[in-house]
């Protein structure tokens, strides 16, 4: 029961993170958002790793895998994730993010000689059906279905995000299976990601015209705290006492949990395709996770 509550808590914090990122759209650039988020996440995770003695669990070969994971899962995927939220909104982006599960299964099949079971193939089909239903349905009245940019841009960014997340997990798996402290692992990934976003400031396109305003800086801080720190802590805590498949499924309920948050903030009820599509995506993730 505790693992279930922790997993649902992680899903809620991931949803809150996406909502707070969305609240900065149009005022905080993607590169600026990445710099602030990674810096805050690094400070929090590094402090936790120091208190827990996690740095002693990291060896040089593990650092290499975590660095590769950071390059794909943080530097690439975080950038496209922020841009996808700005372009298509948090609900559509959360649905597209659920593609990370089938991409992880496909990469395991291609590169790790893992087998593809019938439930996993069915899960992939359900996720794709849920995304198509929720994204392309024309009668969904939710305001986030009127994206700031052409929908294909948000979809493309979301797909790249899912591939990056799945590949980043693939790279991190050997290090995590060997016993690296989760806080230390996240500190390495976010620290390298922060250096990447700082280095980009040599290019004019990555520089911000001004510092984020008070409200925007608060939202950036909250998104980093909820998503990269608290959410990960709750998920790791759930894994200590819960089944991996169940924890993965429950933490992937973000597409559904975002809907009542949007309902509350916009005072408009999401249309039925949003609920059905999110439900199918979560069901598909459950099929993949529980069959693993």
Q: Of 182-191, 229-238, 262-271, where does the model show the most confidence?
A: 182-191
Picking from 86, 79, 116, the residue whose alpha carbon sits closest to that of residue 101 is 116
Residue corresponding to tokens 């909250």? 222
Confidence band of 11 (pLDDT split at 50, 70, 90):
confident
pLDDT of residue 149: 60
The DSSP secondary-structure symbol of 73 reads I
Share of the chain above pLDDT 90, in %: 18
Which tens digits make up the pLDDT trace of 44-87?
999 999 998 999 999 999 999 999 999 998 899 889 988 888 88
DSSP 133-176: HHHH-TT---GGGS-SS-HHHHHHHHHHHHHHHHHHHHHHHHHH
140: left (phi over 0), alpha (psi -120 to 50) or beta: beta
Confidence band of 165 (pLDDT split at 50, 70, 90):
confident
Neighbours of 93 (CB within 10 A): 30
Structural domain harbouring 215: 2-291
Cα(123)–Cα(288) distance, integer angstroms: 5
CA 142 to chain centre: 22
Mean of pLDDT over the chain: 81
Q: Which helix (H) or strand (E) holds 241?
A: none
Count the domains in the chain.
1
Provide the whole-model pTM: 0.82
Neighbours of 201 (CB within 10 A): 14
Which tens digits make up the pLDDT trace of 125-156?
888 888 877 766 544 444 444 555 677 888 89
Residues contacting 172, CB < 8 A, separation 6+: 65, 66, 69, 73, 185, 189
């Amino acid at each position: 029961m505790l693992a279930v509550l922790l997993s649902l808590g992680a899903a809620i914090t991931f949803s809150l993170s996406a909502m707070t990122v969305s609240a900065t759209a149009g005022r905080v650039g993607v590169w600026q958002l990445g710099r602030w988020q990674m810096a805050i996440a690094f400070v929090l995770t590094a402090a936790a790793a120091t208190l827990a003695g996690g740095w002693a669990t990291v060896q040089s070969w593990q650092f290499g895998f975590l660095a590769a994971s950071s390059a794909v899962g943080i530097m690439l995927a975080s950038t496209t994730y922020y841009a996808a939220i700005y372009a298509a909104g948090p609900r559509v982006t959360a649905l597209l993010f659920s593609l990370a599960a089938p991409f992880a299964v496909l990469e395991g099949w291609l590169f790790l000689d893992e087998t593809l079971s019938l439930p996993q193939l069915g899960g992939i089909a359900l996720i794709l059906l849920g995304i198509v239903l929720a994204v392309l349905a024309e009668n969904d009245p939710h305001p986030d279905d009127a994206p700031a940019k052409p929908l294909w841009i948000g979809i493309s960014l979301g797909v790249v995000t899912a591939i990056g997340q799945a590949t980043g997990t693939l790279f991190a798996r050997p290090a995590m299976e060997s016993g690296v402290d989760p806080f230390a692992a996240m500190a390495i990934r976010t620290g390298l990601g922060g250096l990447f976003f700082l280095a980009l400031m040599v290019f004019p396109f990555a520089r911000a015209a001004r510092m984020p305003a008070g409200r925007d800086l608060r939202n950036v801080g909250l998104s980093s705290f909820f998503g990269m720190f608290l959410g990960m802590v709750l998920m790791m805590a759930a894994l200590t006492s819960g089944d991996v498949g169940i924890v993965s499924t429950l933490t992937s309920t973000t597409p559904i949990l975002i809907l009542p948050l949007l309902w509350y903030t916009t005072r408009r009820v999401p249309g039925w395709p949003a609920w059905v599509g999110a439900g199918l995506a979560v069901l598909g993730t459950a099929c993949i996770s529980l069959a693993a």
